[in-house]
Amino acid sequence: MVGQKPEEIISIQVLRAIAALAVFAGHLSNELSDTAHWNPVPHLTILAGGVDLFFVISGFIMVHTSRDMFGHATMRREFVRRRLIRIVPLYWIITGVLAAHAIVRYGAAGLTEANLSPGLIVASFFFVPWARPDGDMTPLLAVGWTLSYEMLFYLLFAASLALPRRAAVGATALMLIIAIAAAVPGGGPPGRTAGWPALIAVEFIYGMAIALLAGAVKLPRAAALALLGLGITGLVVVAHASPQSEYRFALWGIPCALVVAGVTLHRFPLASWPWRPLIVLGNASYALYLVHPFMGMPRLVTERVFGETRGPWLDHPIAYAIALVALMIGAALAVHVFIERPVIRILRRWSRRATVAAAAGATEPVL
């Protein structure tokens, strides 16, 4: 029935928390290596798979949460409305803070020196890839490069909603592959000038395919654990053999897809207490993803205000690492509870009222 709320899969929330923590831990490692010359996880390049895991999860969630929309062309607007309300507000708030800081600190004339431009700032708000002065296409909030991929995926997905479920997934996959094939050729990491959208976007297709399977297939526990173990093993092997590759969509994406399949094709009982912190963090995973790049701010502020050249990040790197983990997770939870959730509730309420008013207006006779 249209309007029915899809069942939440707790294991997906746990995976979202793990993906966000993996991205956070990878960037934390860079912070500690740059400032304290200490890398606590020098061999855990497997953390780089957090982004790939996010992409597979996103593909899964879109099919799962939209199952009452397929075959209804009129639901395209509702789908886009939901995704914009979910993704845009917090991203705009953080990007707005960064834009204001850049303009105040550098002024319009000095943006180039900071590898910024007015075009980049405007484009960052609308998820449009835009070259920086040095050619890099990372948006103002660096981790936002993944959201330009997400938005492209959402648009193609919305365009397919008039079709039945399987046909819609196939049409979305086909359009995504065409978009990738039509992209400017060239290598380089995702988010760079050449090759947008890059092959990494294929990972959305893995997630959609798993969601289709989840509606028809339920694996026994042993088989699901085997898939999960195979995926983790694949990530470990790839992390040591090929951290960066233009074939990342296969080398990293397929193991991540096996992990997602393993935890969704069998309903593991994860509602008990040991998993609850990860479930809570899974709900706040988007906030953690957007907030954690600010982990260096306490150090920068301390150095600017007090002129310190040495601090806990040099003399006590382990304590510094623990403090950053606590600070960023605490900040993410606070942002989720006191900013993200209230803003989303307000926008959803306003959007529903606007939709009802528009529908009422459409039924009134024209005089």
More confident residue, 249 or 359: 249
319-333 confidence digits (pLDDT tens) = 888 999 999 999 999
Per-residue pLDDT band for 310 (boundaries 50, 70, 90) equals low
Mark 10-25 as b/e (b = at least 16 C-beta within 10 Å): bbbbbbbbbbbbbbbb
Domain boundaries along the sequence of the chain: 10-356
For 291-308, write each residue's pLDDT tens digit.
999 998 888 877 777 666
pLDDT above 90 (res 36)? no
Q: Give me 177's structure tokens.
A: 């592959």
User: Does the pLDDT at position 240 exceed 90?
Assistant: no
**Cβ 28 vs Cβ 295: under 8 Å:** yes
What's residue 306's pLDDT? 67
How far apart CA 262 and CA 352 sit, in angstroms, is 37
Spatial contact of 161 and 66, defined as CB atoms under 8 Å apart: yes
Residue-level pLDDT at 277: 93
Across 36-58, average pLDDT = 82
Separation of alpha carbons 206 and 251, rounded Å: 13
Cα(205)–Cα(55) distance, integer angstroms: 9
pLDDT of residue 135: 87
pTM of the model: 0.91
Q: 137 with 144: CB under 8 angstroms?
A: no
- Mean pLDDT for all residues in the chain: 87
**Residue 119, pLDDT above cutoff 70:** yes
**Choice among 87-96, 192-201, 228-237 with the minimum mean pLDDT:** 192-201
Q: What is the pLDDT, as a whole number, of residue 315?
A: 74
Q: How does residue 41 score in pLDDT terms, banded at 50, 70 and 90?
A: low
Give dist(CA 258, CA 214) in Å, integer.
Answer: 13
pLDDT score for 274: 81
Q: How many residues does the chain have?
A: 367
pLDDT of residue 255: 96
Alpha helix positions (H), the chain: 10-35, 50-65, 76-110, 118-125, 145-159, 165-181, 203-214, 221-241, 248-251, 253-264, 276-283, 285-291, 297-306, 312-315, 317-335, 341-363
